[in-house]
A and B are shown apart, each in its own frame.
Chain A
């Protein structure tokens, strides 16, 4: 067990500076504020949260479409957080991304075959007849027909375009594909097909997915583990079943309660949170969730809770649900830290 995890994200921070006023201090958007997690090979980690909580920012930092303000992102033990693009390029073979919008993520002027061929050409993986064969293979792999090779993106449906995006990401045989809400722009019936395709590919190729979404049903279906983000921080991270059966953080509870359940016997406590997400420009002091938390106490306003293990692999950032000093949790902390 000495091999480094596929992905180690530590204390990832991304701040955006807004224009400063004439005299005031510069204003900063705290998009991501100290996010840490690990991922193993072949694993799917779901990353959920409301719009604007920073989950897409985390995704884009990991594939280095944006440079994080601070923190480290280790891929196979190598920190890519602050690599120059020239040094980053070879790392991209392990690290691919599928975008949310299958319409804008494909260049409308290019043919489908050329879009999928681009990564192969960039990395010098194939050329000539070999290139054509590889592209045809990828088309087949994601369920597209070979006679669509010369079509342009607008001739495809939304689901087919997303398949194209997946084929492009697959072309370089990555170890991790970051899926930035890959199905939220698709019709529900198409969503299932794409999700199943992702599942098949994982089974056959041993891919790991960082699956960013706000649709909890989709996340529950595809993930091994789930991390919940609120206002730039991870508030709870746990194996899927633990998280969905026994959510600990009040925010997770509220998120799950908001999911309509088709099963009348399923009696999740229905406790909806009120109010709006506070501004990430001036996040609340103490626990960031205290302004909307149904169980908040005085100290939640003063002291920010850290992620603490309450069971193996199950970490929660809450003063009340994961109390600080107890022999048991300290030991668990030590265990999970290892």
Chain B
């Protein structure tokens, strides 16, 4: 029996079992499987029997896909498949990093502006201002004024994504704080921090997870775009963006150099979005009912 007030907070209805969800949501299942493959590849890349992604071999330059080189070779004779698998590391680190950091910061800012009317007016205008700048331009600006590197990229992509999270959290806080059970908690002497942790934030978890997946997908695209433009990952680290930039010149003779990382990028983003859709339906009871036979 867990009576303690610190008993873990779970949604009112037990979540449906994972297998049932996948059966109902084959799209989300496909997305998860693909992401899992890319993630495993990226994590284990140094230990897999892959060719050296950096070693150049001018004799083998621009070879078409074959059994020896699944995705062919690029203009320096480097194995495109190995580079693509390694490139997933950058994309996933940036995607997850941005999703995590922007969610955390957005959570704090959103809670503040949802709770304090005075902060709200100022904070939300700043957020509007940030949102009004195209995120990729803002990211380019931030990257150029900082040292190049993965951390810089994560920060630069995070900043324009913060308002997104802030708005979601703020709207949850604004809705929840009008509930009578919040008044009831005030009446029984619940302190503000506990109020937040026990009564307000549990309602924000589901929309935040969904939002985080979409931000993750967007961050992967923006990272690739930055690298493609030469403002992102340094050229010596393989990433899908700078691989595509390198293949751009040879698209007529050797399309695989550009297409292979491009397709991996496309499928990864698509998969993350499909996973996000599935999570949204799973975490929102109203949506999951609507998803059944109408």
Contacts and interface: CB of A to CB of B under 8 A. Distances in A.
A and B associate: yes
Q: Which of B11, B12, B180 has the most CB of A within 10 A?
A: B180
Contacts of B12: 108-109, 152, 154
Interface string A176-196: 000000000000000000000
B5 A121 contact: yes
Interface in B1-33: 1-5, 7, 9-12
A16 interface: no
Chain B's interface: helix, strand, loop or mixed, by majority? Answer: loop
A246 interface: no
B3 A149 contact: yes
A119 interface: yes
Interface string A216-237: 0000000000000000000000
Given A121-B5, A149-B3, A96 B199 contact: no
B128 interface: no
Interface residues of A, number: 39
A243 interface: no
Contact of B9 (A97, A110, A135): A110
B165 to A, nearest CB: 22
Contact of B184 (A89, A105, A132, A154): A105
Interface in A25-58: none
Contacts of B49: none
Interface size class of B (residues with CB under 8 A): 20 to 34
Contacts of B189: 89, 92-93, 119, 122-123, 172
Contacts of A121: 4-5
A261 interface: no
Q: Which of B9, B12, B199 has the most CB of A within 10 A?
A: B12
Contact of A96 (B188, B190, B191): B188
Given A109-B202, A111-B2, A96 B7 contact: no
Nearest to A66: B183
B104 interface: no
Nearest to B184: A105
22 contacts: A63-B187, A65-B187, A104-B181, A105-B181, A106-B184, A107-B181, A107-B185, A107-B199, A109-B202, A110-B9, A111-B2, A117-B3, A117-B4, A119-B188, A121-B5, A122-B189, A122-B191, A150-B1, A154-B12, A165-B184, A169-B188, A172-B188
